[in-house]
Chain A
Amino acid sequence: MNTQVNIKTGRRRFTANVLTLLVGVVAVLVLGHASVQAQTTSTSTVDSSITIKTNGTVSDPSGAIKLSGNVTIKCRRVIDNTVATLPPLVLLDFDFSQLTGTTGTGKTLVTYVTGDNHVTAVRPFQASDTIVVTVPYFDSTKDVLSASSFLATATLNFDISTGTLTSGTLTYGTNVFKSSGVGTFTVN
């Protein structure tokens, strides 16, 4: 291949706009290079967690389910050092596995569990964040195929200076998406 000829051909295809913009690129190169080198050494993470004692009630075809149990929320704040203008992130892990629910009493008592359910989420790091997630639950005597879901609304508070999760609340409710997230169509 005649590289020299092809290079000229390729360059002629570049618009004048691009070629004009290449003037003064040396300064950009220096900045870019320095930036890349710096990125290899300055990752910052801060780990924290809270455990919230929770309770609530959600409606189910079998009756109102009373929920109670501890929910542990782990938080890792990560400094994003590739672009200074981006906010740091938090990696959240909600552990709902200790949450149980009941309906009825005595012989009609049914216990519900959430399985080994965790919800993970990446969120921008900010002083406060509200996250709405759905959580599965099922009769502890049955298998996971019988699972349904309820809504959990977490309001979390973070210490901006230390990067830690400091407090939060969790409220439970009926899964509103069960109706809004389903549509209809005409069957042929």
Chain B
Amino acid sequence: MSDRNFFLSEKASKARLREAERARQNRWDIIKAHSQGQVTRRDLIKMGVLTSAGLLVPISGLSPFARSAFADSNIPTGLPPSPLFGVQPFSAPMPRFDVLPRDPVSVLNPTPTAQANTTPQPVDPALGGGTGPIEGRPPGPIWAHQQFTQLPPVIAIQATMEGAKTNNVYNPGVPSLQNSGINPASPIPFKFHPGLPTQNVLKDWTYNGTIPPKLMLARYGEPVLFRLSNKLPVNQNDNGGFGIHTISTHEHNGHHGAENDGFTGAFFFPNQFYDYHYPVVLAGRNTINTTATDARASGPTDAGGLNKIPGDWHETMSTHWFHDHMFSFTAQNVYKGMAGMFNIYSGLDRGAEDIVDGVNLRLPSGRASVSGKSWGNLDYDVNLMLADKAWDANGQLAFDKFEFDGFLGDQMTVNLTFKPFMEVERRKYRFRILNGSVSRFFKIALSDGSPMIQIGNDGNLLPSPVVLTQLDEQGIAERYDIVIDFSRYSVGQKVWMVNLAEHADGKKVDKDLTISEALSGNSPDPCVGKFLEFRVARNPAQPDISQVPSTLIPNPDLSAIPVARERIFEFNRGAGQTTNDPVSSFFGPWGIETDNQGGTLAADFGRISAAPRFGTREVWTLKNGGGGWDHPIHIHFEECQTLARDGSAANVPAWERGRKDVWRLRPGGEVKITLQFRDFGGMFMEHCHNTMHEDNAMLLRWEIDDGGAPFLRPLPTPRPTPQGVTFVAPTDILPTAF
């Protein structure tokens, strides 16, 4: 372990802690001024705070990596540790996610429309005044909901984006007994632990402004209309020092039109709403099983039966999440709390372990016969959102957006609660684990080295379950679905989830520790070690009849589909910028080179880097251009199969042999994948999901624009303002894009 650690130990000298606090305050002043538009990045470069490559200058009193005046060697200043106010780990129960209400779409007012609703409304003077549309979705046919007539929304899910407040309407979706005794009727103040300070309304921005994080439930064959209303402050300066009030929600990783994808440039303003149409369909619906005769391609009915739908059942998905995707502000906004999870239920993955029909895999979830719910039982199907956080001396959420290598927190949270405990029964549980961090990778084991069964990777169940005693590293945005059987323990025993991945900075994992190393307490990384305590509280009221079948969901066979072309994307440091559009381009130290064209480019959502033909399949190679960092690369829209790692199919581990949408490239590594472009069109993204890398500026746009009207080739770029969205021509089209 190097001495170049992101956070100082609590045992550091008072002088070094004071020095670090001063440095953080200095950065904080700069961050605040920059986030509020008082200084530009160019100003900061002129002032010497940033290098021309966008790096924080390593000067003492400013950078956490500058040499400390109070240390003998090259020890960095570090960040001061987050205060805990006497709070002990594992002293608060872990709240289950807060299930968003599902209503008939008829409750929506105004009624959702295929094209954006451009009814005018007055615009707040702080946003320029005048009038603007009530919906922030780009107007016109190109951004209309695709196949809206064929797939009309049935269910409405509504949410607001607003500042931290008390939750008075918590719905965990399970009885209190299955939620570690939490009484859902009790108001839940916005705290990371009952013993920590209440968060300021401007520091944390979440869906509905409350915790726990929100959970959407959907089922195949039942389209959802998600209406998100922006209730954030109209004044851009009212942001608590970081984050921005313009937002765009990505449903990660929905197979639907780009107008619902949370495109980074399709953001909207306070006092507007945006209607996202999630049709919840199987990929290939227009070419495979078009008559909907295969029972495996289905969603659950309320009566316990199957609603058969078109499409390829091999493309069934289960575990999604949704989060903000605002251009160059994703890290800040997601860190502020703009993240939730999205469980999708199907005939195969029913969420009802007692329904036996030859299709249902009967994974751990709960009994329909007990709950009366034929699908979506959450009793033994648990969403976990892992995220490292930091807070300032007052216990308020703190961020440092100039850590372009990646931002690390020093306190572990699960479901936005500091190191909680969870009561479990002596039976099998399914955990849908999301890495919701900004830059931190995890590597999870149980403290006793017991086996866990990995059943899913990202949105997809694996072809076969994989038994592991330590999971692979889990990059930002990756989801690992696992099953843990607590019947091996006695009532009264407790066991912990442990993080083995040790970071020194936000670029990558420095070292994967052994269990004993991680439990020793000797790691300088405060987020290594135990982070979630399972308390085996009782025997289950009914016998555990859930299953983990030896076959889950095999991959679709793509061998008969020709490869239309191959593309190469290399993720590098040291990007150049060939465009300077003030809205769509952003300059930072990170970038992407496409097809070996000799230039690593910083992000510009007005630039088209790839435009695969509608209805084709391609092979893409994702290369890490460096050895000093890792990148979790995310491709929107369609799940992909991993063909090779570092040039060999044999290097693809068993837990990556299903479908995926995020790949850790590993230092110096590369991944070859294949994906199709079908069913829908529009502009999508590919980017690093270390969101500090993404924001600075490792992101590109690709599009499907030849699927027929209303699409144009190329697509015009939306340019949102509070007074309405206009369109401009692409700033750039790479020579190999089409």
Task: Please determine whether A134 and B449 come into contact, CB atoms closer than 8 angstroms.
Answer: yes
Within 8 Å by CB of A40, from B29, B47, B60, B626, lies: B626
Q: For residue B55, which residue of chain A has the nearest CB?
A: A32
A179 CA to B74 CA, complexed, in Å: 41
Tell me which of B245-253, B262-270, B299-307, B490-498 binds A. Answer: B490-498
Cα A13 to Cα B32 in complex, Å, equals 10
Known contacts A43-B626, A86-B2; can you find 12 more A-B pairs with CB under 8 A?
A14-B26, A14-B30, A21-B62, A29-B48, A29-B57, A86-B504, A117-B467, A120-B653, A138-B467, A177-B447, A181-B448, A182-B493
State whether the Cβ of B512 lies closer than 8 Å to any Cβ in chain A: yes
Q: Which residues of B contact A187 (CB under 8 A)?
A: 491-492, 537-538
B457 to chain A, nearest CB (A): 14
What are the nearest 6 A-B pairs in CB distance? A25-B48, A10-B33, A82-B628, A181-B448, A134-B449, A181-B447
Asked whether, in the complex, the Cβ of A43 is within 8 Å of the Cβ of B516, the reply is no
Interface residues of A in 111-162 (CB under 8 A from B): 114-124, 131-136, 138, 143-145, 147-149, 151
Q: Which residue of B lies closest to A28 (CB)?
A: B57
Q: Is there an interface contact between A144 and B451, defined as CB atoms closer than 8 Å?
A: yes
Bound together, the chains give a CA A186 to CA B491 distance in angstroms of 9
Proximity bits, A163-188, B CB within 8 Å = 1, else 0? 00000000000010111111111111
- Neighbour of A178 across the interface among B22, B448, B624, B627, CB < 8 A: B448
- The reply to whether the CB of A15 lies closer than 8 angstroms to some CB of chain B is yes
Report the nearest B residue to A19, measured CB to CB: B47
20 A–B contacts from the bound complex (CB under 8 Å)? A10-B32, A15-B29, A28-B51, A29-B57, A32-B52, A36-B589, A39-B574, A43-B624, A43-B627, A74-B651, A76-B669, A78-B667, A80-B628, A122-B509, A122-B667, A134-B469, A138-B467, A144-B465, A183-B494, A185-B493
What are the residues of chain A within 8 A of B60 when measuring CB–CB?
Answer: 21
Tell me whether A33 is interfacial, beta carbon within 8 Å: yes
Residues of chain A lying within 8 A (CB to CB) of residue B61? 17-18, 21
The 0/1 profile, CB within 8 Å of A marked 1, for residues 35-52 of chain B is 011110001010111011
Flag if B515 contacts A85 (CB, 8 Å): no
In the bound complex, residues from chain A placing their C-beta under 8 Å from that of B59 are 21-22, 25, 28
B-contacting residues of A (Cβ < 8 Å)?
Answer: 1, 3, 6-7, 9-11, 13-15, 17-18, 21-22, 25-26, 28-29, 32-33, 36-37, 39-40, 43-45, 47, 74, 76, 78-83, 85-89, 91, 93, 114-124, 131-136, 138, 143-145, 147-149, 151, 175, 177-188
A89-B667, A133-B514 known; A117+B625 contact, CB < 8 A? no
Complex contacts, A47 vs chain B, CB 8 Å: 646
Q: Does B295 contact A (CB under 8 A)?
A: no
Asked whether A18 lies within 8 Å of B469 as measured between CB atoms, the reply is: no
Q: Give the number of residues in B that approach A within 8 Å (Cβ atoms).
A: 92
Asked if B55 contacts A36 (CB within 8 A), the reply is yes
B52 and A29 contacting across the interface, CB-CB below 8 Å: yes
Beta-carbon nearest neighbor of A79 in chain B: B627
Asked if A123 contacts B4 (CB within 8 A), the reply is no
Partner pick for A182 among B428, B494, B589, B626, CB 8 A cutoff: B494
Q: How far is the CB of B609 from chain A (nearest CB, A)?
A: 18
Q: A10-B38, A118-B653 are in contact. Are A40 and B507 (CB under 8 A)?
A: no
- Asked if B48 and A149 sit within 8 Å, CB to CB, the answer is no
A181 near B519 with CB under 8 A, answer: yes
Complex formed: what's the CA distance from A79 to B510 in Å? 13
- Bound: A149/B468 CA distance, A: 9
Contact with B573, one of A7, A11, A40, A136 (Cβ below 8 angstroms): A40
Query: Is residue B489 contacting chain A, with contact meaning CB distance below 8 A?
Result: yes
- Residues on A with beta carbons closer than 8 Å to the beta carbon of B359: none
Report if A86-B38 is in contact (Cβ < 8 Å); known contacts: A18-B26, A36-B574.
no
Q: Is B485 in the interface zone, CB < 8 Å from A? A: yes
Q: Which listed residue (A40, A123, A183, A185) contacts B600, Cβ 8 A?
A: A40
A144 to B38, CA, bound (A): 59
Contact A122–B512 (Cβ < 8 Å):
yes
Question: Is the CB–CB distance between B51 and A149 below 8 Å?
Answer: no
Find the B residue at minimum CB distance from A26. Answer: B48
List B398-454 residues whose CB lies under 8 Å from chain A. 428, 445-451, 453
Residues on the B chain within 8 Å of A147, using CB: 451, 453, 467
Q: Could you tell me the distance between the alpha carbons of A143 and B469 in the complex, rounded to whole angstroms?
A: 16
Q: By the criterion CB–CB under 8 Å, are A185 and B494 in contact?
A: yes
Measured between beta carbons, the chain A residues less than 8 angstroms from B483 are: 145
B713 close to A (CB within 8 Å): no
Residue of A nearest to B572 (CB): A40
Cα–Cα distance between A186 and B421 once the two chains are bound (Å): 14
> How long is the Cα–Cα vector from A91 to B7 in the complex, in angstroms?
25
Task: State whether B47 touches A22 (Cβ < 8 A).
Answer: yes
Q: Report A24 CB to chain B, min CB distance, Å.
A: 8
